[in-house]
Chain A
Amino acid sequence: MRDMKSSFDWILRSAAVAAASLLACSVQAAAPGITGTGAAHVFDLTAAAGYTSQPDGASIYTWGYGCNTRPSSSEFVPAAVGGGFCTAGSMQLPGPTLVVHQGDTVTIRLHNNLPAAAGNTSILFPGFTMQAFASGNGVPGVLTQEVTHGSAVTYTFVADTAGTHSYYSGTQGDLQVEMGLYGALVVLPALNGGVPTGYAAYIAAARAAPTATAGLPDTCFALNGKRAGLLDDGDFRLAAAAYNHPETCYDREYLFQFSEMDSAIHRQAEAQANSAAGLGCIRQTGCLNVQTEPYHPEYFLINGRSMPDDMDSNYATQYPHQPYNGNPHMHPGEQMLIRVIGQGRMQHPFHEHANHVRILARDGNPLFTLPKNNLAGPLLFTTTTTPGMAFDGIFEYTGRNLNWDVYGHHKADANNAAVDPPCIADANGFNTGAAAVNQINYWEWCADHDKALEAHPFGNVGSGGPITLPDPNILANGPWYGGSPYLGFEATGRAVGGTPIPPSGTVANDPGSEAGFAYMWHSHNEREITTNNIFPGGMMMMLLVDPWNFSINEAN
C-alpha cells in the first residue's frame, strides 16, 4: 500500500513536471528559411569564407553562401520558429534556405566575397531556367554566368516547379561544393484557398465511412482553422501541402541536407588562400592547387552539423555559421514531410527507424499515377540520397499492429477513464473518433487497447501479456530510453512507479516529462555515423514520437 501511494505521488509529481514542461519545453526543429524581399523575391546573397565547428572540437575553414544584407525579420519563415538570423556578410553551412512560391519570379543577387585565390564563383539552380543575362551581369562560365572576385551577379528565374531543390556552385564544383557552397530552395505549391485542389472532396470521401468523423490524418487543417488538438504547438509548416495534391498535406516538416567533408582539402585551401600568392591572386580561375583526390572524408554532415550538434536547436548561438538542425519530433498519426537533398559527392543510404517513408517526388517532380492522380512513389525504410538529388517523402508513425497497448493500460482499469481513457475506434481503427486531441492515447490503435505486454504486473501496469521482462540490472539503458516499454511519461510513471529509470548519465528523453519513443535516423553506411573516426557522430539524429499530451513546440 505504501508503495502504491508513493507511486501515485510520483505520478502526480511527474504530471506537475509535465505541466511545467508544456510551457518550458522547446525542441526546436522544422525547416526554416528566408523568403526574399518584396514582390520580386530578391535574395541578396554572398559567397564568403568562415569557420564551421565539429563536435570533436575542430573548427574547419569553410566556404558558404550567406546573406549579403540581413533580411528583415518578416522574411524569416515559418514565423512561429522565431530567432532566425542570417548575419550580413557572413557565410553559413548550408547556405540560406530560400523559400518561394510556385510561379514566383525569383531574383538572386550573388556577391563574390570568397578569397581572391578562389577566383570566380556562381550558383546553379538545377531544374530551373535562368533568364538571359544582360551584358555586364557577371561573366560567362561553363555552366552558368559567374561572378568575379569582389563583384556581383544577378540570377533571375521563374520557380515553376514545386518541391525541394538544391542550389550549389557551378564553378570548380569539386572544390567549391566540397568547401560548402550549397543550399536548398523550397518552392511551395500554388494551392487553392490554402489547401490543395480537391481537398474538400478528398476529405469527404475519406470520411464517408459511417462511423468516421475523422480517421485520417487531419492535415491541411488550414481548411478548418487551427486544429484544436495542437495545444500550444503552433503551426510550424511552410505550407499546407508539399504539392497541389490532397495526399501531400502534412503536419510537420524537416529538411535534411547530406554532405561529407574531407578536412585535408579545407586545410590546403585555407593555407593557399592566405598565402601571399593567394592573397594577390587576380585570375578568374583562381590560384588554388588543392588536391581533391583521393577523397577521404572524415566528417559526415546533416545540415552542416554532425551528431549530436544537429540535435541542438535551429539558430543556436553556438553555431553562428551552421543555423539549421536535424531534430524531428512528432505525435502518433501525424504526417511528417521530409525534404532531403544529397549535397556532397557520395551516396548515403539513410535509414528511417520505426516505419516506411512514402516517396512523393524526386527533384520536385511528383510521382503520381495516371490518370487517377494517386501516389505512385515507392515505400522505403532506407532512402538513399545521391549527389545532387532531392526528394520529398511523407513519414507517419501510429504503433499499429504491435499486439500490446503501448500506453500500458490494462483491463482492470477499463472502467476508470481517469486512469485508462477509452479507445474509440474510427473507421481505420484509431482513437480519433471521440477522444480529445490532447488525450494521452489520442490516435491509439484501438485493437490493442488494454492488451498487456507483461506476464507479471509492474506498477499499475497489468499482467496477462506474453512477455516476462528481465531484471533491469542485467540491462544497460540508453540516454533516450524513456524508462519503460511504454509511450509517454504518464504510462512510464504507472509502469515504473516510484523508481524512475533510466539511471544513465544523460537523459535526453526525460522519463518524467516526455518518455517518447525514440528512433535513430542515420546513414546505414555505418562508418558515416562517426565524427573524425569517433563513434557516435556524423549522419545521425533521433526522431522522437511523443504522446499527444506532450506539446511539441518548435519555436526558439
Chain B
Amino acid sequence: MSSTRFIWSGIAAALLGLLALPVAAQSFRVQCPNATALHPNRTTLVPASAANIAKYQALVGGSSNQAIKDTAYATVFPGKIKCQQLSGGDGFATMGDGSQMYLFAFGPLSGLSNIVHGLPGTVTNTEFNQSNVGTPNTTITDADGHSQPIGADGVLDAVKIGAPYSPDYSFNGAIGLVPDTSDAKVGSVTLLLDPTTDLPVAGSGYSANEQVVFTGGGGSGATGHITARGTGGSIGYTLSSDGATATAAIAIDNPGSGYTSPPTVSFGGGGSGAQPRAALVASNSLTGHVDERLVMDVGVLNGSFSAPTIAIDEDDELFLTLTNVGMVMRPDLFEQHTVHFHGYPNASSFYDGVPDASVAINIGGSFTYYYLAPEAGTYMWHCHISPPEHLQMGMVGQIYVRPRQDVATSLSLYQQDVADQADLSRKCSATDILCSVQLPPANTVARVPGQKYAFDDGDGSTAYDVEYPIQMHGFDPNFHFVGMTFNPESFADNKDKYFLLNGRTYPDTIHAGPMSTQGPDGVERFSQPLSTIINIPLGGKALLRFSDLNVTEMHTLASLGIRMHVIGNNARLLRDQDGNNTDYYTNSITLGGGESIDVILDASDVATYTANSKFYLYTPQLDHLSNDAENFGGMMTEVNILNCTPANFNANTKQCNP
C-alpha cells in the first residue's frame, strides 16, 4: 500500500520534472563538473583521453598500491578542478572616515568561509558541489568536516539572509545548489493493462534473469534484469490494490541519468508480447541546478570590495560562474555584468568578458567562464561593462596563479625546468618572444619541501613564506553618490578622494578581520573582507602581489624600512631571453590601472628586522594619505615582524602558531 503510493508520487514527481525540463526555464545555474578530460574520475578515468589513460596505466604497471596510483594520477593529470561562484550586483562599503560608499559590486556565492577568513574563495569541486538542503532540523557534516545545521525549512542555516555575517562562518559550498528534480533516472518498469481485460500484458517465453535494455529517452546508463516470471515465462508483476498499476518484477540495476522522457524497454534473449513501460523518478543529483530563492537570499546586496579573491594553481581548470542578481538599489538599471580575466594569455574573446566582443550576462542569468590556468603570476579581474562606471563603482578583484614548482617532485628546481622543456605546453622556446620563464643558468638549488614560489623560476629566486594580494584603487565619492541617485554621470573630471588598499583606507587597512557594513535592509554583511596588515615571520619573506585598477590616475606605494625586491611585472617573471634575472630593488613602485607587480619584502636579516618591529607601506603622493576631508588615512598599512620563525608561522591565518 505505502509502496504503491510511493511509486505514484514518484511518477508524479517525474512528470512534474518533465514539465520543467526545458533548460531555458532556469537561468541561474552553476557548473562545476566532478570529472573532466584533464581531471578524470580517479577510479574509472572517465572521461580522459585514450592516450592519457595509457600513460597512467604504464605508470601504475598493474599495481594495486594506492600510493602508486595517486602518484601516477598526479603525474598524468596534474592540478585540480576548481570552481567559484560570484554574484554581480550591488552593496555598500565603509570608508575610513565612517562614510558609506554605494557600490556596483561582485560578492561571493561560494567559498564564503574562505572569504570570511581572508582567503581566496576558490574551492575544489568537492567543496563546491554541496547541497544546500537536507532533512529539516538535523545536522550534516560538510566537505570540510564542519557541522552544518539544517533549519525547519530544510535549508542549511548557512544559506540564510545575513548568515555569512559571522566570524565563525564555515560553509564553502555553492550558494543555491540543490538536487536537480528535472534530471530523471529510471525508477521502475510497469506493464500496460489490456483495455478489454484490465489485465497486465505480460507476454510469454522470457528467460529467467533476462537482461532488460533501456534505449532512447535522452539519457543513458540504465540497466536491469527480470527477477520473477509468471506462467509460460511471462513477466512477473505486482498489481496495485486498485488494480490500476502493474509493477513488473524487474530490478533496476543502474537507474542511469539524464532522461528527459521514459526510455523504450526491451529484453534480451527470447520472449515476446509484454508491453513494458519505464517510469522515471527525479535523480535529485547535483547537476548545477540552483534554487533561485537561496541565491537571492544570500546574493542580494552581498557585494564586497575588493571583489572575491580568486587563486588557482597551474594545471587547474577554473569554472567561474557569474550570477547576475541585479542591483536592488538601482531598479531603474538593467545592468549586465561580465568577468574580464585581465592579462590572461592567448585569451579567447568568448571568455574575455568584453561585452562588445562577446556575451554579457543579464539580470537573472548565470554564465560559467572556463579557463585552463595560465602561467603563474599576479593577474586581476573586473567587470568589463561600461568600465569607467563599473570599475569606479567597485567591480574589481584579484586573481593570481601559483606555479607548479610549488608541487613537490623528486627533481630539483632546475631539473624540473629542464624536464618541462620537453612538454610543448610548458616549453619556453628561444624563438617564443612572449615567454618569460626562460631556463636560468644551470644551478643546484635544492627543492625545499613545502616551499612556495612566485614563478617557475628554476633557481629558487622567487621563494617566499607568506603571500598578500594587495589591490590599489581609488573612489570618487561624488561619482558614487551620483551612481546611487539616478543622475547622469560625468567621467572627465573624476577625482578620487579615497585611496584604497584591498578596498580599505588607513586605519581600516590594519584591522585584522573582515569589515562589515550594514545594508539599507538592516542586515550586516562583510563588505571588505580582506585585511592589508602584512605579518612576516621572523627571518621570513613576504610576497606582495600588487595590482591596480584605479580608473583615474597612477599610484605610487613606498616601503619604509624593508626594501622592495621586484621579481615580477604584469604576471611575468623578470628575466631576459638569456635566462638572466632582471629583478631589482627599490623602495617604491608605481602602477597605473591595469598593471600588476610582484614584490618580495625580504626580512631574512634578523639583526635588522627584529621580532615585533613594525614598518610601513604608504603612498608618497601625500594628498593620497587622506580619507576625503580627513587628512590622515588613505593608502597606508603596517608591516609587522612576528616573533616566530617561518616554520612556526601559519600562512593561512598570518599568525604565529599558538
Contact = CB atoms under 8 A, between A and B. Distances in A.
B346 A358 contact: no
Contact of A480 (B357, B367, B368, B489): B357
B67 interface: no
A468 B31 CA distance: 8
Interface string A527-546: 11110110110000010010
B594 A478 contact: no
B434 A470 contact: no
Contacts of A533: 489-492
28 contacts: A353-B347, A356-B345, A375-B576, A378-B570, A379-B569, A380-B572, A394-B433, A399-B348, A400-B346, A401-B345, A401-B346, A401-B425, A470-B27, A470-B367, A476-B359, A479-B356, A481-B358, A485-B351, A486-B350, A517-B357, A520-B356, A524-B595, A525-B550, A526-B387, A527-B492, A530-B491, A536-B356, A542-B357
B531 interface: no
B592 interface: yes
Contact of B372 (A398, A401, A480): A401
Given A375-B433, A467-B319, A536-B386, 9 more contacts: A369-B576, A381-B343, A429-B427, A466-B319, A471-B27, A481-B358, A520-B357, A526-B387, A530-B491
A533 B356 CA distance: 19
B182 to A, nearest CB: 14
A331 interface: no
B555 to A, nearest CB: 11
A137 interface: no
A429 B288 CA distance: 35
B359 A353 contact: no
Nearest to B385: A476
Interface in B286-328: 288, 317, 319
B94 interface: no
Contact of A374 (B24, B33, B427, B576): B576
Chain A to chain B: the 4 pairs with minimum beta-carbon distance, closest first: A524-B594, A349-B592, A474-B365, A374-B577
Given A353-B347, A374-B576, A428 B427 contact: yes
B430 A478 contact: no
Contacts of B33: 466
B350 A485 contact: yes
Band of interface residues on B? 35 or more
A474 B364 CA distance: 8
A475 B552 contact: no
A217 B345 CA distance: 18
A475 B491 contact: no
Nearest to A468: B31
Nearest to B384: A520
Interface string A295-308: 01110000000000
Interface in A17-68: none
A447 interface: yes
Interface residues of A, number: 87
A355 B345 contact: yes
B592 A530 contact: no
Contacts of B242: none
A454 B572 CA distance: 31
A406 B319 CA distance: 18
B361 A475 contact: yes
B355 A476 contact: yes
A380 B569 contact: yes
Interface in A361-380: 369, 372, 374-376, 378-380
B370 A466 contact: yes
Question: Which residue, B366, B553, B593, has most C-beta atoms of chain A within 10 A?
Answer: B593
A268 interface: no
B424 interface: yes
Interface string A401-417: 11110100000000000
Interface string B435-469: 01000000000000000000000000000000000
Given A378-B574, A478-B359, A530-B492, A525 B431 contact: no
Interface of B: 23-24, 27, 29, 31, 33, 36-38, 47, 288, 317, 319, 336, 340, 342-343, 345-352, 354-362, 364-368, 370, 372, 374, 384, 386-389, 391-392, 424-425, 427, 429-434, 436, 489-494, 549-554, 569-572, 574, 576-578, 580, 582, 592-595
A349 B547 CA distance: 13
Contacts of B36: 466
A304 B364 CA distance: 41
A376 B492 contact: no
Contacts of A428: 424, 427, 429, 431-432
B355 A529 contact: no
B436 A379 contact: yes
Contacts of A123: none
Interface of A: 206, 215-217, 247, 296-298, 335, 347-349, 351, 353-356, 358, 369, 372, 374-376, 378-382, 384, 394, 396-404, 406, 425, 427-429, 447, 451, 453, 464, 466-468, 470-482, 484-487, 509, 517-520, 522, 524-530, 532-533, 535-536, 542, 545
A297 B492 contact: yes
Contacts of B336: 476
A485 B493 CA distance: 38
Given A453-B370, A475-B360, A378 B595 contact: no
B38 A247 contact: no
Given A297-B492, A356-B572, A467-B370, A349 B593 contact: yes
Contacts of A479: 356
A24 B471 CA distance: 47
B594 A381 contact: yes
B31 A467 contact: yes
Contacts of B431: 206, 215-217, 247, 428
Question: Which residue, B33, B346, B550, has most C-beta atoms of chain A within 10 A?
Answer: B346
B490 A351 contact: no
A467 B357 contact: no
Contact of A247 (B433, B551, B552): B433
B267 to A, nearest CB: 30
A219 B352 CA distance: 28
Contacts of A447: 424-425
Contact of B424 (A355, A429, A472): A429
B569 A296 contact: no
